[in-house]
Amino acid sequence: MSKHILSNGYIGDLVWGEIADLALEDPVRRASSPIANIVIPVMRTRCTSFLISKDILITSGHCVPHVGAAKRVMANFRHLGNEEDSSEHVYDCSTFLMSSMEHDFALLKCEGSPGEKYGVVDIDLKDIEIDSLVYVVQQNCDYLSKSYCEWTKKYSKGLIMHSGDDRYYYNADTLGGSSGSPVIDENTHKVIGIHTGGKKHPKTGKTLANYSSKMSHIVSTINKYFPELLNSKDQESFL
């Protein structure tokens, strides 16, 4: 049995599954609905993101660090790699609201209120315990094995290895492009953090664990600048 502890790479086998392979009523698939891949032309990269209100998208701050980086950002909420893929699921999310390097998150506003169609995530501000089961929903593919691959919406399961003041550390699998993915409590299916990177061994360079910024710190920061954002009617049942 292989051990997988990784971030932006993997040790042993890469263990993740396709959202498209889950039944429509599966709670993991249902929780994945507000999650999208974003293409960021200015940064020449892509990341993962998710809706915290009907028209506000959140991702990692290093993905969209400033207003210029938000230019022409587009989000696809149904990039599943099957017949659901369509331009009707793509939204312009190029309006920059803020970015925090301290907690590594950025907020973008989308045209067309995609949350009315795909919903918004359920957020948990309480700390969860070590060894709690979690999963990461991300837009990615195994580009380390193939020179080109089409990224699709995937989920990887793991557990909380350590909890710092403002970070969770866990062993669910990711690769580059997964930044901005929600880290979700498998028991409640609520978002507890945003995946932002990994901790590497100082000598070998191997990844020891992934980490995320805690939603409690992120929401506190958002409330300072946009006090009404997470208290609107479309979000009130999720906090």
In this predicted structure, which of 87-91, 168-172, 175-179, 209-213 has the lowest mean pLDDT?
Answer: 175-179
Confidence of residue 69 (pLDDT cuts 50, 70, 90): very high
pLDDT digits (tens, 9 = 90+) for 107-154: 999 999 999 999 999 999 999 999 999 999 998 876 767 777 778 899
Q: Which residues, at least 6 apart from 175, have a Cβ–Cβ distance to it below 8 Å?
A: 8, 9, 10, 14, 140, 141, 142, 143, 144
Closest CA to 236 of 77, 57, 54: 54
| pTM beyond cutoff 0.95 | no
Q: Which residues, at least 6 apart from 7, have a Cβ–Cβ distance to it below 8 Å?
A: 174, 197, 198, 199, 200, 207, 209, 210, 211
Query: Is the pLDDT assigned to residue 5 strictly greater than 60?
Result: no
Closest CA to 128 of 216, 192, 71: 192
Confidence of residue 11 (pLDDT cuts 50, 70, 90): very low
Q: Cite the residue boundaries of each domain of the chain with CATH code 2.40.10.10.
A: 17-21+122-215, 33-120+220-233
* pLDDT the model gives residue 205: 55
* pLDDT the model gives residue 9: 44
Residue 56 is classified by DSSP as E
CATH T-level fold of 33-120+220-233: Thrombin, subunit H (2.40.10)
CATH of domain 17-21+122-215: 2.40.10.10
Q: Which residues, at least 6 apart from 225, have a Cβ–Cβ distance to it below 8 Å?
A: 98
Check: CB of residue 123 under 8 Å from CB of residue 238: yes
